[in-house]
Structure 1
Amino acid sequence: MSEAVQAGGAPKPVGHYPHARRVGDLLFLSGIGPRDPVSNAIVGNVHDADGRLISYDIDAQCRAVFANVRAVLQASGAHWEDLVDVTVYLTDMDHDFKTYNQVWAEYFPDAATAPCRTTLGIGSLPTPIAIELKCIAHLPERR
Structure 2
Amino acid sequence: MSDQKYNTSKAPKPVGLYPHARKAGNLLFLSGVGPRTAGSDQNDSGVPGLKLDHNGNFEEFDFEAQVHSVFNNVKEILEASGSDWNQLVDVTVFLTNMKRDFKTFNKIYAEYFKDNQPCRTTVEISSLPTPIAIELKCVASLED
TM-score (norm 2): 0.91
C-alpha deviations, 1:44-73, integer Å up to 9, x for none?
Answer: 21222x252324211000000000000100
1:105 matches 2:110: yes
The 5 Å alignment of 1:65-76 reads: 65-76=70-81
The 5 Å alignment of 1:53-132 reads: 53-54=57-58, 55-110=60-115, 113-132=116-135
Aligned counterpart, 2:7: 6
Distance 1:53 1:26 in 2: 39
Q: Which runs of 5+ in 1 are unaligned?
A: none
TM-score (norm 1): 0.92
Q: Percent identity?
A: 54
Answer yes or no: is the 8 Å Cα contact 1:45–1:53 preserved in 2.
no
Distance 1:44 1:124 in 2: 18
Distance 1:118 1:44 in 2: 25
Aligned length: 138
Q: For residue 125 of structure 1, what is the amino acid of its counterpart?
A: L
Distance 2:127 2:137 in 1: 15
CA RMSD in angstroms comes to: 1.2
